[in-house]
């Protein structure tokens, strides 16, 4: 197996195993990983429009209306129509949605703890840079960049070089 092929399959396998673990943990909540991501984004950014939500999701490209419709039906998300403009609708978590989002936070914290144990003595920064470069101008990468406080390492370095050239 060539190195690039091995890397590609390792990334796919890690992503699939992570999704399996996450979906298994979410099953008692009757949530999928994509629905959990919507709850977490709403928890952090509500109230937001459907379009704004779509711009922040890694799990779904374009409009997440089907995902949101399911969460509304489950009583986890509420659509709130603007009093000023009846065409403008924002999304917020219901009380039940807030409770479920908190459980998702706990599940994610456990996953994060396991990941941190795995990488405890690893030099992770070069790997993060490779991952960011791989996704930087793709929909998932753009959505993640909008949500994250991290910086894309090679872009930061290029920015520093450009500002020192002045």
CATH of the domain spanning 3-121: 1.10.10.10
The domain limits of the chain are: 3-121, 123-161
The length of the chain in residues reads 166
pLDDT, tens digit, 9 for 90 and up, residues 78-124: 999 888 887 888 999 999 999 999 999 999 999 999 999 988 988 88
Report the distance separating Cα 38 and Cα 12, nearest Å: 22
Residue 102, pLDDT score: 98
Q: Is 74 helix (H, G, I), strand (E, B) or coil?
A: coil
pLDDT of 70 above 90: yes
* List of residues 6+ apart from 147 with CB closer than 8 A: 41, 44, 56
């Amino acid at each position: 197996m060539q190195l690039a092929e091995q890397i590609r399959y390792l990334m796919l396998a890690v992503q699939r195993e992570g999704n399996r673990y996450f979906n298994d943990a979410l099953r008692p909540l009757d949530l999928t990983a994509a629905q959990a991501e919507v709850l977490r984004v709403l928890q952090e950014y509500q109230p937001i429009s459907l379009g704004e939500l779509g711009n922040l999701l890694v799990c779904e490209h374009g409009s997440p209306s089907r995902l949101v419709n399911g969460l509304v039906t489950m009583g986890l998300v509420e659509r709130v129509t603007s009093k000023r403009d009846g065409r403008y609708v924002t999304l917020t978590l219901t009380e039940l949605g807030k409770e479920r989002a908190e459980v998702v936070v706990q599940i994610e914290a456990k996953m994060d703890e396991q990941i941190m144990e795995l990488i405890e003595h690893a030099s992770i920064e070069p790997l993060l840079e490779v991952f960011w470069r791989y996704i930087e101008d793709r929909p998932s990468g753009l959505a993640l960049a909008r949500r994250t406080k991290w910086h894309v390492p090679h872009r930061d370095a290029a920015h520093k070089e450009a500002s020192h050239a002045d």
